[in-house]
Amino acid sequence: MSSRGQAPAAGFSAAVLQGLAPDGGLYVPVSWPRLAPPDFQGAGDLASVAVRLLAPFVAGDPLAPTLGPVAAEAFNFPAPLVPLEGQGRLSVLELFHGPTAAFKDFGARFLAACFARLRGHGERALTILVATSGDTGGAVAAAFHERPGVEVAVLFPKGLVSPTQQRQLTCWGENVRSLAVRGTFDDCQRLVKQAFLDEELKARSVLSSANSINLGRLLPQCVYYAAASLAVWRAHGERASFIVPSGNLGNALACLWARETGMPIGEVVLAHNANRTVPDFLASGAWEPRPSIATLASAMDVGNPSNMERLRALFPRLEELRTVVSACSVTDEEIRARIRAGYRQFGQIWCPHTATAAQAWERLPQQVRERGRWVLVSTAHPAKFREIVEPLIGRAVPVPEALAKLLARPTQCVEIDADLSALRAALQPESNQ
């Protein structure tokens, strides 16, 4: 159902194909399954946890019979829980072992696997439009690259993404078009919205989006929280509390949704950078979105997180929200200091987002730290942020093989003006390289 409650309830595949609900709200589950650790007996790897956790959400849906293969395809790389200190009182959940070395690979791959089964029976071609300010576009492009029956167009603001990000957005070809828009990220988002309303484009192909509000990206993110909390529960008989580097709140919401299904999850701390809309809201109760500020943890530079709507649908009362969720804001100076300290203390190399979570843990009162089992969520591999990390730790960051391969590919992209006629022209079938 929609977070605004004004649209008819939709099944899982309808929600995935539509992206946004017709009333402008975000799709959320109508009801929650009641699961417990014994329901996961024998489920060791992420794919088998995924099947048991997600089956109730797709029950009766056209996707239900293919959940097994979808999960096997999406969860084909691990999310290891690495202990740091105190016999596992503190550990790191590494979500960066996928093709583009960030957690968004999980959601993007699950969504691509769903789309491949929902379409691909000789129906009209499907075109997926993504506006990106950095990480999302790369993960989506990687997940859909070379899939038959699907065209992808990635729109990014020309000159406003980092060199590493630009390589990841433009190294594809075949069914993926990379469009450098002469404008800002907001222009890219506006163009995608206009495209959805454009009769000419709609006549050419079925349009869909793969941005982070799609339910098909959010639900699979619950899986690694379920698996990590089950691992802690099996080893220690205690709940795991998570510290989640947060921007648009999708990843943190997935953790809270996993908790809602009955997974052994304790508290959730939202670690924000200098964009403090959410921490301020938790402190004062006033929701005051604002323009975003550029920080070192750039994937979290969000001043008006869209998933707040889902968070408030889950916890309509602020008092209730505060019993489970807390939030803090970390400065760039603290991020730098934490990257240095993480290397010195634990031999860990952290990306700026992960360091934000580590700083949030550092700030917890000692008795709170000692009372629980804490898990720092590591959202990206540090090699994606070498320019920031290497000077701080005084050594080179090893680049994972998959990322190195990707960065070595030739790049191609088309530059367009920030208007609809330019987008239409760029999406002509014959304009593909």
Whole-number Å distance between alpha carbons of 136 and 151 = 16
- Residue with smaller CB distance to ligand PLP, 40 or 185: 185
Could you tell me which stretch among 108-116, 140-148, 176-184, 250-258 binds ligand PLP (CB under 6 A)?
250-258
Could you tell me which stretch among 145-153, 174-182, 185-193, 248-256 binds ligand PLP (CB under 6 A)?
248-256
Q: Should residue 183 be labelled a site residue for ligand PLP when binding is judged by CB under 6 A? A: no
Q: How far is the CB of 379 from ligand PLP (least distance, A)?
A: 3
Each residue 64-83 as x (binds ligand PLP by CB under 6 A) or -, in order, gives --------------------
Could you tell me which stretch among 122-130, 202-210, 249-257, 402-410 binds ligand PLP (CB under 6 A)?
249-257
Which of 104, 158, 259, 338 touches ligand PLP (CB under 6 A)?
A: 104
199 burial type by CB count under 10 A (0-12 exposed, 13-18 middle, 19+ buried): exposed
Q: Should residue 338 be labelled a site residue for ligand PLP when binding is judged by CB under 6 A? A: no
Q: Should residue 133 be labelled a site residue for ligand PLP when binding is judged by CB under 6 A? A: no
Q: Should residue 379 be labelled a site residue for ligand PLP when binding is judged by CB under 6 A? A: yes
- Residue with smaller CB distance to ligand PLP, 264 or 305: 305
- Total of residues contacting ligand PLP (CB under 6 A): 16
Structure-token match 């969720």, residue found: 325
Q: Should residue 132 be labelled a site residue for ligand PLP when binding is judged by CB under 6 A? A: no
Q: Should residue 265 be labelled a site residue for ligand PLP when binding is judged by CB under 6 A? A: no
Strand partners, 249: none
Which of 1, 63, 102, 364 touches ligand PLP (CB under 6 A)?
A: 102
Q: How far is the CB of 42 from ligand PLP (least distance, A)?
A: 30
Which of 61, 94, 105, 135 touches ligand PLP (CB under 6 A)?
A: 135
Q: Should residue 249 be labelled a site residue for ligand PLP when binding is judged by CB under 6 A? A: yes
Q: Should residue 251 be labelled a site residue for ligand PLP when binding is judged by CB under 6 A? A: yes
Q: How far is the CB of 81 from ligand PLP (least distance, A)?
A: 18
Which of 88, 98, 216, 250 touches ligand PLP (CB under 6 A)?
A: 250
Structure-token match 């590493």, residue found: 164
Q: How far is the CB of 250 from ligand PLP (least distance, A)?
A: 3
Q: How far is the CB of 299 from ligand PLP (least distance, A)?
A: 3
- Residue with smaller CB distance to ligand PLP, 228 or 416: 228
Q: How far is the CB of 240 from ligand PLP (least distance, A)?
A: 19
- Residue with smaller CB distance to ligand PLP, 175 or 307: 307
Q: Should residue 216 be labelled a site residue for ligand PLP when binding is judged by CB under 6 A? A: no
Whole-number Å distance between alpha carbons of 186 and 163 = 20
Copy the structure tokens of residue 70: 């979808």
Q: Should residue 246 be labelled a site residue for ligand PLP when binding is judged by CB under 6 A? A: yes
> In 3D, which of 57, 52, 26 has the Cα closest to residue 313?
26
Which of 19, 138, 245, 266 touches ligand PLP (CB under 6 A)?
A: 245
Q: Should residue 259 be labelled a site residue for ligand PLP when binding is judged by CB under 6 A? A: no
Which residues from 292-331 bind ligand PLP, rule CB under 6 A? 299-300
- SS3 annotation, the chain: CECCCCCCCCCHHHHHHHCECCCCCEECCCCCCCCCHHHHCCCCCHHHHHHHHHHHHHCCCCCHHHHHHHHHHHCCCCCCEEEEECCCCEEEEECCCCCCCECHHHHHHHHHHHHHHHCCCCCCCEEEEEECCCHHHHHHHHHHCCCCCEEEEEEEECCCCCHHHHHHHHCCECCEEEEEEECCHHHHHHHHHHHHHCHHHHHHCEEEECCCCCHHHHHHHHHHHHHHHHHHHHHHCCCEEEEEECCCCHHHHHHHHHHHCCCCEEEEEEEECCCCHHHHHHHHCCCCCCCCCCCCCHHHCCCCCCCHHHHHHHCCCHHHHHHHEEEEECCHHHHHHHHHHHHHHHCCCCCHHHHHHHHHHHHCCHHHHHHCEEEEEECECHHHHHHHHHHHHCCCCCCCHHHHHHHHCCCCCEEEECCHHHHHHHCCHHHCC
Q: Should residue 138 be labelled a site residue for ligand PLP when binding is judged by CB under 6 A? A: no
Copy the structure tokens of residue 121: 């029976």
- Residue with smaller CB distance to ligand PLP, 353 or 373: 353
Binding site for ligand PLP (CB under 6 A): 102, 104, 135, 245-252, 299-300, 353, 379-380
